[in-house]
Each structure stands twice: as C-alpha cells, then as structure tokens.
Amino acid sequence: MLIDKLRLQIKKYFPREIYFLFILLGMILSLFLFVEIADAVTEGKTASIDNQILLLFRDVDNPGKPIGNERFPYIVRDITSLGSSTILTIIVLLVVLFLLLKKEYRSIIYVLSASIGGGILVQVLKFIFSRERPDTALYLASEITMSFPSGHSAMSAVVYLSLAVLISRIENSRKSRIFIITAALIISFIVGLSRIYLGVHYPTDVLAGWMIGLFWALFCWFIAVLIEKRN
C-alpha cells in the first residue's frame, strides 16, 4: 500500500516516472561521488595521482612548460574563460533579460536560484576544505581562491546544464533536447580539462566540481518540476 501511494505521488509530479528516476539517481550518484572524492582528498589519498596527472600535461624536462605548440595554451585559456564568473554572469544576465521580456518569471527564478545558489555552495565548500592549489611553478593562469572544488568546473555544469534544461523544456524534438544537454555537458567537460592543463587545479578538484555542479543542477531541476506541478 505504501509503495502504491508513493508511486501515485511520483506520477502526480512526474507523469513519466523515468524522469523522476533519472533525476533522483543522478542526484544521489553525483553527491555520493563528491563525498567520496572529498573524503579521499581530505585524507591525502589522492596527492600522488593528482600530481602524476598534472605532470602529464607538462614537458618531462621542464615542468613549467606545457605540452603542445606555443599557440595551444592561448586556446586553452579561451576555453577556460567559458567557466569564469565574468562570462557566466554575463550569460545569466542576458538570459534573465530575455526571459523578462517574455514575462517568464518562473524561469527567471529558476535560472537565478540555480546560478546564485550554486555559486554560494561552491564558495562555502572552498572555505570548508581550504585546499591549496598546485605548485605555482605549474601555473599558466593566475588564481587567488582555494582549490577544492573547482569553481569553473562546478559553475559551468550548473549554468550550462540549467540553461540546457530550460531550453529543452520548450523544444519538441527529442534529438534536439539530447543535443542541447550533451552540448552543455561537453562545455563543462572541456572547461574542467582546461583547469588541469593550466595547472591551477588538481584533477580531483575538477572531478569534485563536476559532481557538485551536476548535483546542484539536478536538484534545482527537481525542485522546479515539483513547484510547477504543485501550482
């Protein structure tokens, strides 16, 4: 009886139960992986592998020199800017202004809640873990905040996935929806990789950023659906 009542409640808010299971599984899995990564980092279990991976992106004889031709670091810096607070803020503001013109007030609240909430969450986590960044000899870009989790990785996942969800909800084509969400995931992925290449984050910082960003994006999506169906 309890299971039947639970299924009725789920169907009330999520007519297609697969969506509910997808969001719930994604939230649980991403949060679990973040906790596992954070625990391993706190205990110092990842130090060796983190440094080994970082050095894969450097010349064997000169750790300060990145792999690739002279132009490649500039390309990577362009990519990493896609996850910067400045670029993401501009994108969010432009989207909010567009939604304001369309009088999509609920969508505005959704986008702002996801973006601002995600930013606060990342900064709180950075303060809690207070992990120092990699050796400055590896830096190809300057940073002043703590290392764990990667803010670029987390916020690119939050913002681009939230916007992808927003667009996919008004897009009828299933292929288009898949493309939009996949594109958001790819952008978040390459932004994270760029942070490792630039030597400003350990790989575990980036992994943790992806996981907490994915968790927050799915959580906001989950809450938005509940509120929409309730009203």
Question: Catalytic residues, which ones?
Answer: 152, 201
Are 209 and 157 a contacting pair, CB within 8 Å?
A: yes
Residue 23 contacts residue 222 (beta carbons within 8 Å) = yes
Instruction: Give the chain's largest Cα–Cα span.
Output: 68
Residue 6: count of CB within 10 angstroms of its CB:
10
- Collapsing DSSP to helix, strand or coil, 58 comes out as strand
Q: Determine the 3-state secondary structure of 91 from DSSP.
A: helix
Residue carrying the six token digits 């009203």: 231
Angle of CA points 217, 218, 221, to nearest 5°: 90
Q: What are phi and psi of 58, to 5 degrees?
A: -125, 155
What is the C-alpha separation between 107 and 18, in angstroms, rounded? 23
